[in-house]
């Protein structure tokens, strides 16, 4: 945590409240044409993460955004084991670093459309980055197809077809140890499953995507150009 204290402290110092400029940026964010994929990497054991969680929670209800919260494992040693963390989510963040999409592995980190990484604690900065990135364009159409997903023909393959299952409900976790001792942290859109369902090569493709056992959970499909690569297309199911 100390390694990243300075950059996170600067971000938090400028992110505690929305400004008229930030609100204008949010209203100007493009709608339609496809979703904007916003992935937050965070941990309940990170004292700098609660503002970023709040920022993602604020984006979660926007229809033009797929907001995903991944709990990572590498701060568990500080005294509190994150209740949602999985090694696969830590590896996903590391893949973005290996691909050059991010300049490090830290929390809270946001990656937008698989292309741009930034500190997630600054709400105004995050809204501006989301507005600048805009919806994904140029990728193939993705549509629900019974208990599966159909992906149209297009260019840019091969790409992995990732099915993400997340919980849109607010999950409030009382933290009893570590840096956030005594705090109750609200989470939304916590990722509970991430799996590769196939590889799209540019030809039409249908993959199985059966519904979650819990009807309250939601799913999204991401078409991603390799581990840690750009997201070509995405859809909420």
CATH number at residue 202: 3.40.30.10
When comparing pLDDT for 192 and 19, which is higher? 192
> What is the rounded average pLDDT of the residues 95-106?
95
Confidence class for position 132, pLDDT limits 50, 70, 90: very high
Q: How many domains does the chain have?
A: 1
More confident residue, 199 or 26: 199
Phi (first) and psi of residue 116, to 5 degrees: -130, 130
Mean pLDDT, range 220-237, rounded to an integer: 95
What is the per-residue pLDDT across 159-193, written as a single tens digit (0 to 9) for each?
A: 999 999 999 999 999 999 999 999 999 999 999 99
Domain housing 96 = 2-236
Q: Does residue 29 carry a pLDDT above 60? A: no
Q: What single string gives the DSSP state of each residue in 35-89?
A: PEEEEEEE-TT-TT-HHHHHHHHHHTT-TTEEEEEEE-STTGGGS---SS--HHH
Look over the chain and give the mean of its residue pLDDT values, rounded to a whole number: 87
Residues with Cβ within 8 Å of residue 65, at least 6 apart in sequence: 35, 36, 37, 38, 59, 130
With 90 as the cut, is the pLDDT of residue 17 above it? no
How many percent of the chain have pLDDT more than 70? 86
Letter string b/e over residues 86-114, b meaning 16 or more CB atoms within 10 A of that residue's CB: beebbebbbbbbeeebbeebbbbbbbbbb
Backbone angles phi, psi at 78, to 5 degrees: -75, 0
Q: What is the pLDDT of residues 32-88, one digit of tens each?
A: 247 999 999 999 999 999 999 999 999 999 999 999 999 999 999 999 999 999 999
Q: Does the pLDDT value for residue 216 go beyond 60?
A: yes
Structure pTM?
0.86
Q: What is the mean pLDDT of residues 148-166?
A: 95
Confidence check: pLDDT of 104 > 70: yes
pLDDT of residue 25: 39
Q: Please give the residue that has the higher pLDDT: either 123 or 19.
A: 123
Instruction: Report whether 151 contacts 59 (CB < 8 A).
Output: no
Predicted local confidence at residue 210, as pLDDT: 84
Give residue for tokens 């078409």.
223
Confidence of residue 14 (pLDDT cuts 50, 70, 90): very low
Q: What is the token pair recorded at 190?
A: 């916590």
């Amino acid at each position: 945590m100390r390694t990243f204290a300075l950059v996170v402290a600067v971000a938090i110092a400028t992110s505690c409240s929305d400004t008229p400029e930030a609100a204008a940026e949010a209203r100007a964010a493009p709608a339609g044409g496809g979703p904007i994929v916003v992935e937050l990497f965070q941990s309940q054991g990170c004292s700098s993460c609660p503002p970023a969680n709040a920022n993602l929670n604020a984006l979660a209800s926007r229809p033009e955004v797929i907001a995903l919260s991944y709990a990572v494992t590498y701060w568990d040693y500080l005294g509190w084991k994150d209740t949602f963390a999985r090694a696969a989510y830590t590896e996903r963040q590391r893949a973005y670093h290996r691909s050059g999409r991010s300049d490090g592995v830290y929390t809270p980190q946001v990656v937008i459309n698989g292309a741009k990484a930034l500190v997630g604690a600054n709400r105004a900065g995050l809204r501006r980055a989301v507005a600048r990135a805009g919806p994904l364009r140029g990728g193939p159409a993705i549509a629900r197809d019974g208990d599966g997903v159909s992906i149209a023909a297009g260019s840019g393959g091969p790409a992995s077809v990732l099915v993400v299952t997340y919980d849109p409900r607010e999950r409030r976790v009382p933290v009893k140890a570590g840096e956030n001792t005594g705090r109750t942290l609200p989470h939304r859109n916590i990722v509970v499953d991430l799996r590769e369902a196939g590889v799209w090569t540019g030809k039409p493709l249908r993959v199985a995507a059966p519904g979650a056992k819990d009807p309250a959970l939601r799913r999204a499909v991401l078409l991603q150009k390799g581990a840690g690569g750009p997201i070509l297309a995405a859809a909420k199911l």
